[in-house]
Amino acid sequence: MIRTSYDAPDTLKRPADWREFAACRGADDLMYPDSSTRAVEEAKAVCRRCPVIEQCLRRALETREIFGVWGGLDEKERLKILRRRGIRVEEPVEPKPPQTFESVWTDRHRPGDDGHIGWSGAVPVHVGGTYHTPQQISFRLDRGRPPFGVVRRTCDRDGCVHPKHLRDQRERDEARQAAVRAAVAV
């Protein structure tokens, strides 16, 4: 048999993808904030301590990412940079929103066989005139109310949107207070 160069095994080490080192890894909810100044500043604070902030910003500018905080900059700040570079960027056209949170959930959640629930499709999702992360949608459907503050996972599975594995700021505060009361009662 004649061996060719493409028959050789690929034994070279490949560099790790920069996204594996991102400070925001698994925190989609935080990095696609609503338009409030506080939420945007919380996302930017994560970027300020990120070891791959430059690679992140470079990717966002190269791909003309139009949503979220990337490389420490929000959408408007990135658009300003692109325009200064002479790159014409169309303002994002609002996609036709799905009818309900339920229809989005039905279309995009993916139950796993390990007790976690994943998400497929774009993040964030336009519903009811605003953008929502999968965690926010899952939380809202389960609790019957919008989340207060950032929704965080209680499990260690990146991307899990199982409603029982999520807590908003109010629930985290209540859990801390209950733990303090229990410790004092002992």
Closest to 123 (Cα-Cα) out of 112, 113, 106, 135: 135
Quick one: pLDDT at residue 35? Answer: 73
Do 115 and 181 lie in a common domain? yes
* Residue 113 within any structural domain of the chain: yes
Do 123 and 181 lie in a common domain? yes
* Residue 56 within any structural domain of the chain: yes
Do 73 and 106 lie in a common domain? no
Do 74 and 106 lie in a common domain? no
**CA–CA separation, 19 vs 56, rounded Å?**
8
**CA–CA separation, 162 vs 118, rounded Å?**
8
Digit-by-digit pLDDT tens for the chain (186 residues) are 455 555 656 677 767 778 889 999 888 788 988 777 888 999 999 999 999 999 999 999 988 888 899 999 998 899 999 989 888 877 666 666 557 899 999 989 999 888 999 998 878 888 877 889 999 999 999 999 999 999 999 999 888 999 999 999 999 999 999 999 999 987
Q: How many domains does the chain have?
A: 2
* H helices, E strands: number in the chain: 7, 6
* Residue 8 within any structural domain of the chain: no
Quick one: pLDDT at residue 141? Answer: 95
* Residue 137 within any structural domain of the chain: yes
**CA–CA separation, 140 vs 127, rounded Å?**
12
Do 74 and 115 lie in a common domain? no
Quick one: pLDDT at residue 77? Answer: 93
Phi, psi at 119, each rounded to 5°: -135, 140
Of 34, 56, 84, which one is at a domain's C-terminal end? 84
In degrees to the nearest 10, what's the CA dihedral of 14, 62, 20, 53? 120
* Residue 66 within any structural domain of the chain: yes
DSSP state of 131: E
- Which residues span the domain enclosing 140? 101-185
The SS3 call for residue 63 is: helix
Cβ atoms of 170 and 146 closer than 8 Å:
no
